[in-house]
Amino acid sequence: MVYGYCRISTKKQSIERQIINILQQFPDAEIIKETYTGTKLYGRKELEKLLQRVKKGDTIVFDEVSRMSRNAEEGYQLYTDLYNRGINLVFLKEPHINTEVYQNALKQRITAINSTGKESTDRLLHSLVEALNEFLLDLVKEQIRLAFERAESEVIYLRKRIKEGMAAAGAGEKIEAARTGQTYETNKAKKAKEFILKRNRGFGGDLSNEETWKLAGISKMTFYRYQKELLQEKS
């Protein structure tokens, strides 16, 4: 049985591209759709159901590795678990990490060498062959792990860009406000102005100008600027 797993993060995104890509190569695939935000595997109900249904010899197709997982550690662990269960995994955009590639690497291992008649030489050759086999398998494993790490890095980068974009949007508003003559006040400025209005003699309070700016924790120049702004607001 072939299953095509398609996932989007929000309902505003389109899942059709993933479905089309999978059905083009696996027209008989049963499509599993899921909308889920986050990098963790836990909570993806449709995927959890699928993992309970699949059996040895079945195939799960993903448009790309990030649709399986954007968490490197969890993704790699799930990959190895499914492989050990005999489930075939296909990644359309990263075919180099399909389970078939891993299986072929295992098949290509050198299992026997001709004896030279010298025990020490045979032992050395055997050690070299084993080391080569392990090296080749480690290369494949590393490619799989790197694919999931890349998927995780992409989502971290995306979140950073969104955060920077939001910050830039806020900065843009301030720049635009400056162009139009508007001003943004800090909390400190608001509190200082409130104190001036309440305590300064010029506004019916009990403190002189010097007492006001000292108690408000602002400079003399700042006090007179705030005083001027407050008088303009009143007029």
pLDDT tens, position by position, 131-179: 766 766 666 677 777 777 776 666 555 556 556 555 555 555 555 555 5
**Which among 81, 113, 111, 87 is positioned nearest to 99, based on CA atoms?**
87
Question: pTM surpassing 0.85?
Answer: no
**pLDDT tens digit sequence for 22-47:** 999 999 999 999 987 665 666 788 99
In the numeric block, the tokens 């006090």 are attached to: 223
How far lies 234's CA from each of 9, 183, 197, 198, 216, in Å? 52, 17, 11, 14, 20
Give mean pLDDT, residues 229-233. 87
Q: 2-154: which CATH topology?
A: Rossmann fold (3.40.50)
- Which distant-in-sequence residues (6+ apart) come within 8 Å of 131 by Cβ? none
Query: For position 2, what pLDDT does the model report?
Result: 96
Give mean pLDDT, residues 60-88. 88
In the chain, domain spans: 2-154, 187-234
pLDDT over 70 percentage in the chain: 75
**Which among 76, 77, 19, 29 is positioned nearest to 50, based on CA atoms?**
29
Above 70 in pLDDT, residue 109? no
